Amino acid sequence: MDKVRKFMEKHHMIGQGDFIAVGVSGGADSVCLLLLLCELKQEYDLELCAVHINHGIRREAFKDQEFVENLCRRRKVPWITFSEDVKGTAEKQSMSLEEAGRMIRYRCFRKVLDQHGGGKIAVAHHQNDQAETMIYRMSRGTGIQGLKGMEAVRGDVIRPLLCLKKEEILAYLKEKGQDWMEDASNEDNTFARNKIRNQVIPALTKVNARAVEHIVSLSEEIEEWSRYLEEQLSEAWKACVKQEGKGRLIDTGRFLEEPEPIRRLLAKQAIEQAAGRKKDIEKVHIQSFCDLAFRETGKSIDLPYGLIGRKTYGGLLVEEKQTRAEKAAEGQLVLTETDRYEKMEEKDFTKIIDYDKIDKDIQLRYRKPGDFFVFSKDGKSKSLSRFFIDQKIPREERDRIPLAADGSRIIWIIGHRLSEFYNVSEKTERYLRLEYN
């Protein structure tokens, strides 16, 4: 008890009068957690509520539910039971049973917090779980952030038992004369985590009896380094990255000034933010995106979730693949940079522009909503649709006219007219030749 109290105080897990939703499955770990919090209840004036989720998978599920409810009655702890179709959710959302179960559990916890108006969620992960998590992530492939394991406190989720080994939990329950429910599925080694728990960790403890403690100690050290890296990443992100619509654009020059580990973290975060999720973004995707920095402009790679990574004049861009309306027009736009004005015969399919006026990146595409065109030397502009109407360009031709575009600003209506905004002048220092084939 003292060990857990000191651990909770170290991580500032609870305060006076806290409401805590305690996940109680009926297994040894969660029963231990509930009993320990009951011991702290009076000292901290805690308001406890046990939350049990009947996953509807095992035949014994209702026995587990009955056990938890009886335990709560004896301990005078309010409880809420949820009955959920985990298997159906997993099939419907193409998830594993473990993933679906975890998602549903936390959804239920948060319902309880919402009904109460806030509070904390206590879950019963312990040191063996931490070791299992690290081994599992290493075997599947992960980076330094994945190796830091589960945090003692993450937002409103607390893990008071992360200071205890499984043997200590069982010893505590035996000392209290408290029984628990055994989950027969924990012996099924077709599940990866069970195989690690039942085969890998016992084998490691034969190599060193303190293997679990050492793995957890490494996890804590990695967490410290991870916090330092996150601070460095935050500074680099501010200097290197900006949002481009739903995508992210990384300044190549500043990107290459960063150490390689920070470059990989920048790439990872840019892809994750553009995707809106983290799962299935692997090391090979991150490294391929980083490698674009050393390739020529225009090169691209496919990324998960319908994303594309491209080397552009503006930097490294990760964005959604273009929709049909945004696809590159047929043909090829050849770009040639020069520091002097090349005399040339004026042609409908060759233009020279002021390169320094490019704001984002040059795309060859057809029109899309929001496009506009600068038509006068004093900077007046109008929507591209309005410009087409004023120029009496037939409606059926408008969607077939190729455009050189800088974001929503049209540089060149190919075969028709160049934007006045991009015209060269006596102030022009860099010139860009555009040739449409």
Per residue in 238-259, pLDDT (tens digit) is 999 998 878 899 999 999 999 9
Contact yes or no for 303/318 (Cβ under 8 A): yes
Long-range contacts of 114-117 (CB under 8 A, 24+ apart): 116/19, 116/21, 116/49
Could you give the strand order of the β-sheet that contains 431-436, starting from the edge strand earlier in sequence?
333-338, 431-436, 350-354
Find the mean pLDDT for residues 351-374. Answer: 89
Tell me, what's the pLDDT at 325?
45
pLDDT band at 396 (very low <50, low <70, confident <90, very high): low
Per residue in 152-197, pLDDT (tens digit) is 999 999 999 999 999 999 999 999 999 999 877 777 777 788 899 9
Half-sphere exposure of 415 (CA within 13 A, CB side): 9
Q: How far apart are CA 239 and CA 225, in angstroms?
A: 21
Runs of H (alpha helix) within 197-251: 201-207, 211-240
Q: What letter would DSSP give residue 196?
A: I
pLDDT computed for residue 323 by the predictor: 47
DSSP secondary structure string for all residues of 391-415: TT--HHHHTTS-EEEETTEEEEETT
Mean pLDDT across 20-31: 96
| pLDDT of 115 above 70 | yes
- Res 329: pLDDT: 61
Mean pLDDT of the chain: 89
Q: Give CB contacts under 8 A, 24+ apart, made by 334-337.
A: 334/433, 334/434, 334/435, 334/436, 334/437, 335/297, 335/362, 335/432, 335/433, 335/434, 336/432, 336/433, 336/435, 337/430, 337/431, 337/432, 337/433
CA–CA gap between residue 128 and residue 141 (Å, rounded): 20
SS3 of 379, please? Answer: coil
State which amino acid sits at residue 326. Answer: E
Confidence of residue 341 (pLDDT cuts 50, 70, 90): low
Average pLDDT over residues 88-110: 88
Burial 140-178 (b: 16+ CB within 10 A, else e): eeebebbbbbbbbbeeebbbbbbbbbbebbeebbeeeeb
Average of per-residue pLDDT across 2-17: 94
Q: What is the DSSP string of 21-69?
A: EEE--SSHHHHHHHHHHHHHHHHHT-EEEEEEEE-S-STTHHHHHHHHH
Q: Which pLDDT belongs to residue 324?
A: 41
Greatest pairwise CA separation for the chain in angstroms? 96
Q: Which helix (H) or strand (E) holds 308?
A: strand 307-311
Share of residues in the chain with pLDDT > 90 (%): 56
Distance (Å, whole) CA 85 – CA 88: 5
- Segment 3-18 mean pLDDT: 94
pLDDT at 387 over 70: yes
Residue 364 burial by Cβ neighbours in a 10 Å radius (0-12, 13-18, 19+): buried
pLDDT tens digits, 299-318 = 889 999 989 998 987 799 99
Q: Give SS3 for 159.
A: coil
H-helix segments, 241-300: 252-257, 260-275, 283-291
CB within 8 A of 259, min separation 6: which ones? none
Query: Whole-angstrom Cα distance, residue 297 to residue 299?
Result: 6
Element (H, E) at 381: strand 381-383
Model confidence band, residue 232 (pLDDT cutoffs 50, 70, 90): very high
Torsion, CA 221, CA 265, CA 269, CA 408, rounded to 10: 160
- Entry pTM: 0.64
Reported as a single tens digit per residue, the pLDDT across 31-44 is: 999 999 999 999 99
Between these two residues, 205 and 425, which has the higher pLDDT value? 205
For CA atoms 239, 242, 248, 253, the dihedral sign is negative
- Nearest Cα to Cα of residue 129 among 283, 272, 25, 277: 25
The span from the CA of 146 to the CA of 288, in Å, is: 20
Average of pLDDT values for 365-384? 89
The pLDDT value given to residue 5: 93
Is residue 220 a contact partner of residue 172, using CB atoms and an 8 Å limit? no
Q: What are phi and psi of 19, to 5 degrees?
A: -95, 130
